[in-house]
Structure 1
């Protein structure tokens, strides 16, 4: 699984957990729906840090919480 798939899988999980849609996330985050749609549609696109920060603010979690899942929370040796 690439970074795009991992990040969007995590985002979908958090949206389902909070019973939110991507459209509602756009409204809460101040991002355009088209911005989220274009990120979602690009198979290699990974949201920039400022976009992730806005998403996290809308979800009322920290960026650390957003990225606290494997493989991002594992130490590579």
Structure 2
């Protein structure tokens, strides 16, 4: 798994936890629906930290909480 796939999976996981659709997340985050759809459908490979920050704000979580999952910890180990 690469980082863009991990980000997409995390967004979908958080939407499910918060009972949000991707469309609703895009609205409350101030990001276009097409951008969020491209991320979750693995069409965007380089997701900027500003975009992630805006999504986190919409989800009412910190960036640290966003990345604090086993998926991201395993990615870190795979890079070395």
Please indicate the TM-score interval, normalised by the length of the shorter structure: 0.7 to 0.9
Answering whether residue 40 of structure 2 is matched by residue 27 of structure 1, we say no
Secondary structure at the residue paired with 1:35? helix
1:45 and 2:45 matched: yes
Residues 15-60 of structure 1 deviation map (CA, whole Å, 9 limit, x = unaligned) = 0000000000010000110111223344561420000000000000
More helix by share: 2
TM-score, normalised to structure 1, is: 0.83
RMSD (CA atoms): 2.0
Note the residue ranges of structure 1 that are not aligned, 5 or more in a row: none
Flag the structure with more relative contact order, 1 or 2, with Cα contacts below 8 A and sequence separation at least 6: 2
TM-score, L = length of structure 2? 0.81
Query: Match for residue 69 of structure 1?
Result: 69
Q: Does the CA-based 8 Å contact 1:39-1:46 persist in structure 2? A: no
Aligned match of 1:60: 60
Q: How many residues align?
A: 77
Unpaired runs of 5+ residues, structure 2, are none
SS at match of 1:61: coil
